[in-house]
Amino acid sequence: MKQASNVPLTDDKYCHNILAEAPPDVLNGILGATSPEGSDSFCSTMTGFMLHTCSSVVRSRVLDVITHERLDDINLTNRGIIIRAIQQHLASPLNRQKPDFQKAAFNVIKGTYGSDLTRLKEVINSDFLLPSHDHGGFHGGDLHQLIYGCRDLTQVVSVAQHIAVEALKVVQSPPLIKILSDIDDTLFAGWVDARYPGHTLYPGVTTLFQCMSRGVDCSNPSVTFLTARPRGWFSFGRNLTADRLVSLGLANPTVLNGSVRTGVNPKKIAGSVLGTFIHDINPSSPLTGDGGAKADYVKYVHCLSVIVDDSNYAAAGMIAFELGLISKEDLTLVVQSCRDELDMMTFTGWNSTQKQADRKQELVNDCDRFDSKHSIPSTSK
């Protein structure tokens, strides 16, 4: 793969020339091929292998071929693989071609249109892009980091404008919904909530997220999490948080960090990081963008947060049902999930038995109140 001093770059044995001349089906087969188990993470796919092993000159030509010259022939899955391979290099402090990689990634995004662009944003975070021999942990690669990690503001504005324009072409009924969630005392008890065991997922939270999320082709978009924790040097804090979320069974989460300036003030976080994520990166989801419901959306998130602080995710699911965000069948799944997961939860402390009994009674009370207006399966004590 490396350039030999006596071999011209026009030689047909170089990978960039092979890629340039290959028929579309062969080209996609090459880019999507996976490496044997135990391969270096940079080389988990043939795309990653080429970008990792080529000389800088050949690498630049490979990037030009797969993100510009032949992009129209490359399918959506392989576009995600290309961006994933690029992001691995962008995350490396040893990489000296970051501007080239950044431009190439933006070429892929700006060369993808309409609902395909919406799909691409989810493909980047999808599990199936990762080899089965990977052993968990956060793999990086969300669109927010890719765009706003670029220091060239001209490129950032250009790709953000492309996303905004293409979002206008995405018309879907019911509308797309992407979940944005806090972590502490929203995903699990980890700050001031002493009602549940610490750092254990709240009963029903993942089921509610799955039922509420709605992407193109009825897919479930990955969940984006907000935290006041700073990103840290080389994104250490961000990756540590994401690793924890992955260990809890949340696949490829996007993590938006706060800073020392924003601290734990939720309004400041929403006004900076959250605002950027909603309006610039995900304008195709009407609840979080061009539908004009931005203020109502933030109020709705706050409403759910208050309800969960005082009750449980069954109550949050009931609010979501009343707002038309989930169906009655979905609500039944959420309530049953709350019940099952609460039964399996291990409470500790001198009053652990009473704590669990109180949480179960809260669930029964919420279901009884809701059942006075609607009909859902009863929850036994």
Q: Are residues 153 and 186 in the same domain?
A: no
Q: Is the pLDDT of residue 118 over 60?
A: yes
Element (H or E) spanning 225, and its range?
Answer: strand 224-230
pLDDT of 297 reads 45
Q: Are residues 162 and 246 in the same domain?
A: no
Strand partners, 224: 180, 254
Q: Residue 119: which domain range? A: 15-167
pLDDT of 21 reads 92
Nearest partner of 102 among 20, 17, 159, 140, judged by Cα: 159
Q: Read off the DSSP letter of residue 378.
A: -
Q: Are residues 44 and 113 in the same domain?
A: yes
In a domain, 219, yes or no: yes
SS3 of the chain: helix, strand, coil, percent, to 5: 55, 5, 40
Residue 345 to residue 357: CA distance in whole angstroms = 12
In a domain, 290, yes or no: yes
Q: Are residues 332 and 295 in the same domain?
A: yes
Q: Are residues 209 and 306 in the same domain?
A: yes
The more confidently predicted of residues 282 and 346 is: 346
What is the average per-residue pLDDT within 335-350? 92
Residue 31 to residue 117: CA distance in whole angstroms = 19
Highest mean pLDDT among 18-22, 274-278, 309-313: 18-22
Residue 157 to residue 32: CA distance in whole angstroms = 30
Residue where the block lists tokens 């009343």 = 322
In a domain, 4, yes or no: no
Residues 6+ apart with CB under 8 A from 134: 41, 44
pLDDT of 134 reads 45
In a domain, 281, yes or no: yes
Burial class (CB in 10 A: 0-12, 13-18, 19+), 258: buried
Final residue of a structural domain among 116, 139, 167 = 167
Q: Is the pLDDT of residue 250 over 70?
A: yes
Count CB-CB contacts under 10 A for residue 240. Answer: 13
In a domain, 376, yes or no: no
Q: Read off the DSSP letter of residue 325.
A: S
Q: Is the pLDDT of residue 273 over 90?
A: no
Residue where the block lists tokens 């399966």 = 377
Nearest partner of 301 among 212, 198, 238, judged by Cα: 212
In a domain, 381, yes or no: no
In a domain, 380, yes or no: no
Q: How confident is the model at residue 62 (pLDDT cuts 50, 70, 90)?
A: very high
Residues 6+ apart with CB under 8 A from 21: 12
Q: Read off the DSSP letter of residue 33.
A: P
Q: What does the pLDDT look like over 147-189, one tens digit per residue?
A: 888 888 899 999 989 988 888 887 665 677 778 888 888 888 8
pLDDT of 34 reads 78
φ/ψ of 230, rounded to 5, equals -65, 155
pLDDT of 329 reads 92
Which segment of 120-134, 143-157, 291-305 scores lowest on mean pLDDT? Answer: 291-305
What is the average per-residue pLDDT within 134-152? 67
CB 311 within 8 A of CB 366: yes
Total residue length of the chain? 381
Residue 322 to residue 330: CA distance in whole angstroms = 12
pLDDT of 302 reads 46
Final residue of a structural domain among 125, 142, 167 = 167
Q: Is the pLDDT of residue 63 over 90?
A: yes
Q: Are residues 141 and 252 in the same domain?
A: no
Q: Are residues 221 and 363 in the same domain?
A: yes
**Within 13 Å and on the Cβ side, how many CA atoms surround 346?**
1
Q: How confident is the model at residue 100 (pLDDT cuts 50, 70, 90)?
A: very high
pLDDT of 111 reads 96
Burial class (CB in 10 A: 0-12, 13-18, 19+), 267: exposed
Instruction: Work out the mean pLDDT of the chain and round it to a whole number.
Output: 76
Residue type at position 370: F
pLDDT of 38 reads 54
What is the average per-residue pLDDT within 264-292? 50
Which segment of 185-194, 215-224, 285-294 scores lowest on mean pLDDT? Answer: 285-294
Q: Are residues 184 and 152 in the same domain?
A: no
Q: Read off the DSSP letter of residue 253.
A: -
Residue 61 to residue 20: CA distance in whole angstroms = 10
Residue 254 tokens, joined: 């996007």
CB 118 within 8 A of CB 170: yes
Q: Are residues 66 and 26 in the same domain?
A: yes
Which segment of 48-57, 230-239, 301-310, 338-347 scores lowest on mean pLDDT? Answer: 301-310
In a domain, 68, yes or no: yes
Q: What does the pLDDT look like over 299-313, one tens digit per residue?
A: 445 445 544 445 789
Q: Is the pLDDT of residue 294 over 70?
A: no
Q: Are residues 204 and 328 in the same domain?
A: yes
Final residue of a structural domain among 167, 196, 213 = 167
Q: Is the pLDDT of residue 140 over 70?
A: no
Q: What does the pLDDT look like over 327-340, one tens digit per residue?
A: 899 999 999 999 99
Residue 348 to residue 167: CA distance in whole angstroms = 48
Number of domains in the chain: 2
Q: Is the pLDDT of residue 59 over 80?
A: yes
Percent over 90 (pLDDT), the chain: 23
Q: Are residues 251 and 291 in the same domain?
A: yes
CB 369 within 8 A of CB 379: no
Q: Are residues 269 and 247 in the same domain?
A: yes
